[in-house]
Amino acid sequence: MTKKIVIVTGAGIGIGRAVADRFAKDGHHVVVTDVLDTEGQATVDAITQAGGSAEYRHLDVRSTPEADTLVADIVAKHGRIDVIVTNAGIAHRVPMAEMTDEKWDETFDIDLKGMLRVIRPALPSMPQGGAIICLSSIMGVAYGWDEHVHYSAAKSGVVGLVRGLAVECAKDGLRVNGVAPGYIRTAQLLSEQNSLGPNAAAIASPYIPMGRLGDPSEIASVIAFLASSDASYLTGQVVTVDGGLLPGRY
């Protein structure tokens, strides 16, 4: 196995951390990025203590200069970027009647344009066989989410980004796919202010055919597959990982 250089955004907690852990466990070098410096460094410390290879870099995906500098530094240091996982995102509850332009723009700036900022400067350094995986959501591919219209709209935009970029990058030997998680046990889901709260399992599980919430590691496993040569003919797709929620609702 060739060690890959992997950038994961929002890797301090939740799905991002699980993704970083998985790539490191598979023998790759992970560039952990986040605005949560303590949590991001903790991810790196856990990886290195387990014998893996990782480094932490602060990155606010709202900043084009920060993203450009990060990518340039990683390419200068490692010579290339093989895999990008754009995971950083926010999902704040705001009823539409209370929605401000600023909150709408902030969500799109992080959840959608933040992906552009990391991917764009990295493309010239990515070798054939490189892979980009973007995080969407079941709320972006199938469902509406009341009081989260801005989030649903941004995550729907991720689907368009994946499709268009996959077609554009195919000639260069790069694959672009997405993952749309369902109800996953993360701090976001367990937030009473912005999502289902501490009783998320009891609320959501009856609607999920598999009868439980997903674990971040289960999303990481799908992302690891999409980045691997086992998915060499798969591009432009958004894989829904939701315990059967989407086909099971009727």
Q: Which residues are catalytic?
A: 151
Q: Are 21 and 51 in contact (CB under 8 A)?
A: no
CA 187 to chain centre: 15
- Per DSSP, 214 falls in state B
Element (H, E) at 162: helix 149-169
Residue ranges of E strands in the chain: 5-8, 29-34, 53-58, 83-86, 131-135, 175-181, 238-241
Q: Are 213 and 200 in contact (CB under 8 A)?
A: yes
For 84, other C-beta atoms within 10 Å of its C-beta total: 27
**Spatial separation of the C-alpha atoms in residues 184 and 129, rounded to whole Å:** 29
**Spatial separation of the C-alpha atoms in residues 8 and 59, rounded to whole Å:** 10
- Per DSSP, 12 falls in state S
Q: Are 207 and 250 in contact (CB under 8 A)?
A: no
**Spatial separation of the C-alpha atoms in residues 2 and 82, rounded to whole Å:** 10
